[in-house]
Amino acid sequence: MPESGLSGAPHIRTTDTTPQGTPPTGRATTAARRTGLLVTLVLGGLTALPPLSMDMYLPALPAVTDSLHAPAATVQLTLTACLTGMALGQVVVGPMSDRWGRRRPLLLGMAVYVLATALCIFAPSAGLLIAFRLLQGLAGAAGIVISRAVVRDMYDGVAMARFFSTLMLISGVAPVIAPVIGGQVLRLTDWRGIFGVLTGVGLLLTFVVWKWLGETLPPAERHTGGVGDALRTMRGLLADRVFTGYMVAGSLAFAALFAYVSASPFVVQEIYGASPQTFSLLFGINSVGLITVGQINGKLLVGRVSLDKALTFGLVVIVAAATALLLMTSGVFGDVGLVPVAAGLFVLMSAMGLAMPNTNAQALMRTKHAAGSASALLGTSQFLIGAIASPLVGIAGEETAVPMAVVQLVCAAGALVCFLGLCRPWQRPSAI
């Protein structure tokens, strides 16, 4: 495997032309398209693994509480542990990838992910399952942080913003099919079988990375410092008010999304009486909405509307949807039933297609010199705040959806305030 490039391709930074600024030849265009497709598929698989790990498991949460004789709040900690692991792992893997390149840390992380997922199959208690899920998250963090860093290595400007939206299409397939697969697996076996399927997926992805994903960070561009240098780099990134604004806004939006992910199995199945298959269908529909809006963002809005304007609109819609959900779940409109609540969740999830890719793109465009560390900060912030939001949605028990709506509204409003207060888009001319 070559030290740079993907599948033998040379290291390039893609914009709207070749690096020299001249239109590409026909042969160069064909090679670039093949390389771009390969990058999209490989990175899409890596970014799909975390939602696959989380969402395939969701229909099984009530079954896990019965199997392990643990309360729902304890079982929800298996989600929190996985998120916490993903957050902490990125702090380590991001600077590692800036120093040693993208490929080696990624392969190591994938190998440990496979081991941790296999251990989940045999967990005899909720406590050990929480521990194995923490290890799974720590290892799975490598795919998250390094995939974003690879995008920053190879793309810039409009091309990077569009690639993030395309990546959302690939990775967004995971939350569409994962609950459906999980629901069907539960027809054939118990919740442990879900982790068996995930182990197989992890093995497949590890092989794909080893076979086709080459190095995208040339040795000349790597950081040679140690832990102190990495911490100074991160401190410098956090000192950038605008970068921090995008980071916190994106993280709070992610927390609103994960409040839905964590609470929805109990809200849909326990409160509204839906079956695991119905829950999987509704979850898939919401994911289709997120993917569709993400593609509208990448294909139609980027290059025509500034990312900040699209981001503002997305955050406002999320706040409005969360407000409507709070009013419905608190009984202001009486007993509204599942359909109106599902509609509110659909609008909230769809608007994430404007919030998530645009916050990532805008933040990373300010961090050309340290893409791995910047990606680590983005991911760590998202998953830590998401991990905090996860147990809060069940604080009032399994009989009400009000805590979910409250967490979503607080996080969405906080995201909008941080974006406007720290990024101050009206003071900066938007480049794209």
User: How confident is the model over 68-83, as pLDDT tens digits?
Assistant: 888 887 888 888 888 7
Using CA atoms, how far apart are residues 175 and 192, in angstroms rounded to an integer?
19
CA 307 to centroid of chain Cα atoms = 19
Residues 253 and 360: beta-carbon distance below 8 Å: no
- pLDDT value for 108: 92
Backbone angles phi, psi at 272, to 5 degrees: -100, 0
**What region does 101 belong to: left with phi over 0, alpha with psi -120 to 50, or beta?**
left
Q: How far apart are CA 257 and CA 263, in angstroms?
A: 10
- Tell me the mean pLDDT per 10 residues along the chain, length 432: 42 43 47 62 83 81 86 83 83 82 90 95 92 93 85 76 72 68 85 92 90 82 69 84 93 89 81 80 84 85 86 95 93 84 92 88 79 81 80 70 90 95 79 50
CA dihedral 198, 202, 203, 207 (to 10 degrees): 150
Beta-bridge partners for 302: 305
Residue 379 DSSP code: H
- Identify any residues that bridge with 155 across adjacent strands, giving them in sequence order: 14
Residues 6+ apart with CB under 8 A from 212: 6, 7, 38, 42
Which element (helix H / strand E) includes 118? Answer: helix 103-121
Task: List, in order, residues 6 or more apart from 169 with CB less than 8 Å away.
Answer: 44, 291, 294, 295, 298
Longest CA–CA span in the chain (Å) reads 65
Instruction: Give residue 3's pLDDT.
Output: 41
3-state secondary structure 217-276: CCHHHCCCCCHHHHHHHHHHHHHCHHHHHHHHHHHHHHHHHHHHHHHHHHHHHHHCCCCH
**Cα gap 9→27, rounded to integer Å:** 13
Confidence at residue 277, expressed as pLDDT on a 0 to 100 scale: 76
SS3 302: strand
Please tell me the distance from the alpha carbon of residue 393 to that of residue 327, in angstroms, as a whole number. Answer: 16
- Helical packing angle, 126-154 and 338-364, nearest 10°: 50
- Nearest residue to 96 via CA among 38, 51, 141, 41: 141
Residue 68, helix vs strand vs coil: coil
Nearest CA-CA partner of 305 in 352, 313, 347 = 313
Q: Is 406 left (phi over 0), alpha (psi -120 to 50) or beta?
A: alpha
